[in-house]
Amino acid sequence: MHYTLHSDRQSSHQQIAQLVRRVGRAPVLDVGAAQGILGQVLQQDHIQIDAVEPHPVWAEHARAFYHTVYASSIEDAGLPGCQYPVIVCADVLEHTIDPAGVLKQLRATATEDALFIISLPNVAHIAARLLLLAGRFPQMERGIFDRTHLHFYTRATAEAMLRDAGLEVVRARPTPVPLEQIWPADGSSALLRALMLAQRIGLLLAPALFGFQWIFVARRALPAGQAGIHDRPAADTVTQLDARRY
């Protein structure tokens, strides 16, 4: 199977699961659920989660971890309107032809006060910069240069895409490279821990350089001149999240 669960607490899987727990609202819609990774992580939390997954084999595997699985594309899923207060798009939008268009469609199935939790790879990561500097643009099975990616984002261009979709970013946080997934089985565990610690320090000092992905929390943007922050339906939920931005 193409995707595997990341156990590092700072990984996108664990950060997104923690965000869903802290928001504490349901039902949740997991868009592009793959084999059901988010459902697996949250299985003991008893949160109702539905999923959309077009890959038939992956959708079937995911059914054990979700309340309802729509085994189709977003366009053909027939999702109910104004249903979901939390929508998760984890590592999926970069695979779509029109990411902003997909988000606009998802806004129709979201409640008015819904929060969108979105992760996107960071093409400005230091490894990607060095490869491009060397004149290389590799095609890989996974990661930033996954051969199935149709779009590549920095933090700035990701936020611009979200604005185009009618969303307002209220929180952004980077993730580290999932070193535990690529470390050789016979490699030094002490060296792995040291590298993970160095990477976390790098994220604090230069997140745009060392961030492997960006995780955004966003909500519907209001037209200029409308209600202020304290009048927003999702304001109370947003203030419960860590507002620190890296």
pLDDT in tens, 112-153: 999 999 999 999 999 999 999 999 988 887 788 888 899 999
Q: Is residue 2 part of a domain?
A: no
pLDDT, position 243: 44
* 212: phi then psi, degrees, rounded to nearest 5: -80, -35
Q: Is residue 236 part of a domain?
A: yes
Q: Is residue 245 part of a domain?
A: no
3-class state of residue 61 by DSSP? helix
Look up residue 144 and give its two tokens: 């930033």
pLDDT beyond 90 at 210: yes
Residue, of 188 and 2, whose pLDDT is higher: 188
Q: Is residue 127 part of a domain?
A: yes
| The pairing of beta strand 84-90 with beta strand 213-220 | unpaired
Q: CA 14 from chain center: how many Å?
A: 11
- Find, among 143, 86, 96, the residue nearest to 117 by Cα: 86
| Mean pLDDT, residues 31-36 | 94
Residues 6+ apart with CB under 8 A from 182: none
Q: Is residue 167 part of a domain?
A: yes
CA distance 112 to 188: 50
**On the CB side of 216, how many CA atoms lie within 13 Å of its CA?**
26
Residue, of 182 and 55, whose pLDDT is higher: 55
Long-range pairs, 126-130, Cβ under 8 A, ≥24: 126/209, 126/210, 127/177, 129/209
Q: Is residue 97 part of a domain?
A: yes
For the chain, the straight-line distance linking the first and the last C-alpha, in angstroms and rounded, comes to: 32
Model pTM score = 0.86
| The pairing of beta strand 213-220 with beta strand 110-121 | antiparallel
pLDDT, position 11: 75
pLDDT, position 245: 41
Find the range with the poorest average confidence among 2-16, 43-57, 199-213.
2-16
Question: Residue 175: in which H helix or E strand, if any?
Answer: strand 167-175
Number of domains, the chain? 1
* Number of other residues whose CB lies within 10 A of the CB of residue 164: 13
pLDDT, position 2: 55
pLDDT, position 1: 44
Peptide bond into 176 cis (omega under 30): no
Q: Is residue 64 part of a domain?
A: yes
Q: Give the pLDDT confidence of 188-198 residue by residue, as tens digits.
A: 788 888 888 88
pLDDT, position 75: 82
Domain that residue 164 falls in: 12-240
CATH number for the domain spanning 54: value is 3.40.50.150
Instruction: Decide if 126 contacts 211 (C-beta within 8 A).
Output: no
Q: Is residue 3 part of a domain?
A: no
* Number of other residues whose CB lies within 10 A of the CB of residue 167: 25
